[in-house]
Amino acid sequence: MTEIPEHLRKRAAEARQKAEGSGAEAAAPAGDAPAAASAGESKIPAHLLERSKSAKQRGDEASSAVAPAAAAAVATATAGAGTLPAMSGPGGHTQRLLTVVKSGSIQDIKMKPQDKVHTWPHLIVVEFGAALFCTAFLTIFSIFVNAPLLSLANVNQTPNPSKAPWYFLGLQELLTMFHPMVAGVTIPGIGLIILTMAPYIDKNASNKPENRKFAVSLFTVFMMFWAVLVMIGSFFRGPGFNFVFPWADGMFFEL
């Protein structure tokens, strides 16, 4: 049950006291009512007091009537007069109290906790800090450590073996096994298509690795496949891009 605020209770009590005082004045002779109203002792108009008195009398007569015919005659007479019987409350008073109750006291609304934050400033600040850290680290590292540059290239002499940068050695290793169309287009294209379709195949929204076995397995297979090709091309290919053992013939790879 809704709890009524204290100030509304006080207002209702004051209205009830005023109503009881007006009822006591209404019980006095009818001739004194206009005089009292004119004197300012009661704020309720005289015709409202008369209507309240007549409504109370009709209510007493209706409650004392036993025969259904008498009740029907009263209802017919009331309907013929064109006026509705006034509703009377406790003690015969016709005053009604209209209160406005805030929705907070009726509806129990609770906000649901959310585990999300705004991109700005929470995420952007962290990413900006990481970018500044990486920039500072590379700047300081480049001051104290020289880049592993070779001598000037000689256009009349091709190095043997001639290797691509490490991030392309996987493709160069595939060229030694398959046709250039297969090694350079088909196999990389199939890998890119599978990686593109992976989010639509695995729709699991969990952030825990143990719940994302398909995604973890697919990423592991892709990384191991490419890492093995790069390692073979880097450390196990010698002159003529032939297969050699680095612990026997040496290492033909420079950073």
- Closest to 70 measured CA to CA, from 62, 78, 58: 62
The 3-state secondary structure of 204-238, one letter per residue: CCCCCHHHCHHHHHHHHHHHHHHHHHHHHHHHCEC
Helices and strands per DSSP (H, E), number in the chain = 11, 0
What the chain holds in terms of domains, given with CATH numbers, is 6-106 (no CATH), 154-249 (1.10.287)
C-alpha span between 43 and 35 (Å, rounded): 12
Q: Is the pLDDT of residue 190 over 90?
A: yes
Q: Among all chains, which residue has been given the structure tokens 């100030």?
A: 7
Chain mean pLDDT for the chain: 78
Return the structure tokens found at 24: 């006591």
- Closest to 53 measured CA to CA, from 83, 90, 94, 20: 94
Q: Is the pLDDT of residue 7 over 60?
A: yes
The 10s digit of each residue's pLDDT in 147-167 is 877 788 888 888 888 888 888
Is pLDDT larger for residue 8 or for residue 125? Answer: 125
pLDDT of residue 1: 52
pLDDT of residue 255: 61
Are 86 and 51 in contact by the 8 Å Cβ rule? The answer is yes
Question: What percent of the chain stands above pLDDT 90?
Answer: 24
